[in-house]
Structure 1
Amino acid sequence: MTLPNILCVLRLIAAPVVAALIYGGEAVLAAALFACSAITDAVDGYLARRWRQVSLLGQMLDPLADKALINLSYIAAAASGYLPWWLALLVLARDVIILAGAIASRVFGLGHDLLPLAIGKISTALQMVLMVVTLASAVLGPATFAIPNALVVAVTLATVASGILYAASWLVHLATRRQPVP
């Protein structure tokens, strides 16, 4: 197994630990582990490209690890009162839609892999930044370190936009794909 894939696996393992720390009120540890995990997201992709170690396993593990880290953290943060439930559910719904499209493509042999879109990467980055800011606010207190409303709006818009664009990409593929000749 390559180092980029090992980093993805470590991020996947860290996801439920971060969520448990958030829910358990251990915001300092949660913030540190979440930040380290978020950094590995950038590092594993960079290393895979730099060392020419891009693999099918890595292409599946990386988004799975991202989605696990973000969704479990957002749900734990909402359950702990750090974030509104509507935002956690929005982030989760977007990822469920993307995952459903990817699974349907595989199961039904539709031949469409959802390629990463720039807006998807932006959405993920903003979601990670918001979680770090949220945990910093939990550690330092909202009076000292308030979560900027603009960041919540940016995460909301990027999440909705990326969900729509991924769904549109899949629908365009379905509408334009050639039917196999019997």
Structure 2
Amino acid sequence: MTLPNILCVLRLLAAPIVAALIYKGEATLAATLFAVSAITDAVDGYLARRWRQISVLGQMLDPLADKALINLSYIAAAAAGPLPWWLALLVLARDVIILAGALLSRALHLGHDLLPLAIGKISTALQMILMVVTLGSGILGVNTFAIPEALIVAVTVVTIASGVLYAGSWLLHLVARRQPAP
């Protein structure tokens, strides 16, 4: 197994630990482990490209690890109180839509893997930034209302937009596959 894939596996294993720490109110430990895990997201992709170690396993592990880290953290933060439930459920719904499209494509042999879109990467980055800010406010003892509303709005808008664009990409591919060849 390559180092980039090992980093993905470590991020995947860290996700439930981060969520448990968030839920228990261990903001410093949760923030540290979340930040290190988020950094590995950039590092594993960089190393895979730089060392030419891009693999099918890595292409599956990387988004799975990201989704596990983000979704479990958001659910824990909503359950513990610093983030609203509607936001955690929105982030989860987007990822369920993306995952359902990918699984359905494979099951129907449509040959369409949902390639990463720029807005998807922006969405993931903003979601991670919001979690770091949320955990940081917990470390500093700042009231949860100190989380910038603009950041919550940005995460909401970009999460919705990326979900719509991924769903649209999948639907366009499905329609194109049903068109008779000229």
TM-score of the superposition, structure 1-length normalised?
0.96
Q: Distance in 1 between matches of 2:164 and 2:145?
A: 32
Q: Distance in 2 between matches of 1:142 and 1:27?
A: 12
Task: Tell me, yes or no, if the aligned pair for 2:82 and 2:144 is still in contact at 8 Å.
Answer: no
Cα deviation code 1:3-25 (max 9, x no counterpart): 00000000000000000000011
With over 3 angstroms needed to count, the CA separation of the structure-2 counterparts of 1:146 and 1:112, relative to structure 1, is same
Letter matched to residue 171 of structure 2: L
Q: Distance in 2 between matches of 1:71 and 1:157?
A: 17
- Residue 58 of structure 2 is matched in structure 1 by 58
Number of corresponding residues: 181
Give % identity: 82
Task: Tell me, yes or no, if the aligned pair for 2:11 and 2:40 is still in contact at 8 Å.
Answer: yes
Give the CA RMSD over aligned residues.
1.6
Cα deviation code 1:9-64 (max 9, x no counterpart): 00000000000000011111000000000000000000000000000000000000
Provide runs of 4+ in structure 1 moved above 3 Å.
178-181
Letter matched to residue 20 of structure 2: A
- Residue 113 of structure 1 is matched in structure 2 by 113
Q: Structure 1: 5+ residue runs without aligned partners? A: none
Letter matched to residue 166 of structure 2: Y
Letter matched to residue 77 of structure 1: A
Does residue 101 of structure 2 align to residue 92 of structure 1? no
Structural mapping, 1:74-153, within 5 Å: 74-143=74-143, 146-153=146-153
Q: Distance in 2 between matches of 1:143 and 1:80?
A: 13
- Residue 44 of structure 2 is matched in structure 1 by 44
Cα deviation code 1:123-168 (max 9, x no counterpart): 0000000000000011112259921111001100110000000000
Q: Distance in 1 between matches of 2:28 and 2:162?
A: 30
- Residue 15 of structure 2 is matched in structure 1 by 15
Task: Tell me, yes or no, if the aligned pair for 1:8 and 1:58 is still in contact at 8 Å.
Answer: yes
Task: Tell me, yes or no, if the aligned pair for 1:136 and 1:145 is still in contact at 8 Å.
Answer: no
Letter matched to residue 126 of structure 2: L
